[in-house]
Copies of this chain bind each other. A is one copy, B any other.
Amino acid sequence: MSENVNLFPGVKVILVETSHPGNIGAAARAMKNMGLTELVLVNPYDFPHEKAIFRSASADDVVRGATVVSTVEEAIADCQLVIGTSARDRRIPWPMLTPRECGERVTAAVAAGQKVGLLFGRESRGLKNEELQKCQFHVNIPTGEAYSSLNLAMAVQVISYEILQGKLGGEVPPLEWDRPYADSEAMEHFFQHLEETLIQAEFHDVDNPRQLMTRIRRMFNRIRPDRMEVNILRGFLSAVNKLVSVQKRKI
């Protein structure tokens, strides 16, 4: 296994009293996809279980490496930042984070060498109030109003995704294109060639242009063609020019 599997050393995903082992496996896969590998299970209902391994797909190492403890206190004992997932409507308001803010906080904490615990509650009832009160922040995943209950592993996926986003920091790898973009001069030559060909083909009437060339310029400027694409377009126009000249010779 490569050494950079764990992009977030010191960040623990803590699943509290999970009922379905399949959810543990699916959560492990979601974590590993986003570079998280430290899984802690608090008093799981049915674990170890083959369903956890099966649903984890290639994250079985995360499942097999999970730490099992019996209390939330134990799970978070060494953490300097504890964030709990929560539904919106709690009686006593708590500092809330969006998933995006959660990702940013975790990135900042990791950069500062802090240990982080992310608490996810039971499938049926989430985290208890006493567990939520051990957290510095609560994070709520926004949903549509009609159906607000996310599957546990899906919640792990969204939070893990935002943690990786926090690390990538909006740094989207630059769009790599296989050819250099055409320059303005090449585009002008193309537009001239196209206009001549449109006239030759009797599609474009210069005495009644109806903004045709304006629309065509707008259209191809939207493309930002690369050099090869301009060559393809001009090659096609040349083929049309040849048809016309053959035709004219025959007349």
Contacts and interface: CB of A to CB of B under 8 A. Distances in A.
A130 interface: no
Contacts of A229: 215, 219
Interface in A188-203: 198, 201-203
A206 interface: no
A243 B239 CA distance: 12
A146 interface: yes
Contacts of A26: 151, 154
A103 to B, nearest CB: 12
B93 A176 contact: yes
A216 interface: yes
A13 to B, nearest CB: 14
A57 B228 CA distance: 49
A180 interface: no
Contact of A243 (B142, B154, B201): B201
A172 B36 CA distance: 26
Contacts of A168: 142
Interface string A74-107: 0000000000000000001101101110000000
B243 A34 contact: no
Considering residues A141, A229, A232, which has the most beta carbons from chain B within 10 angstroms of its beta carbon? A232
Contacts of A141: 161
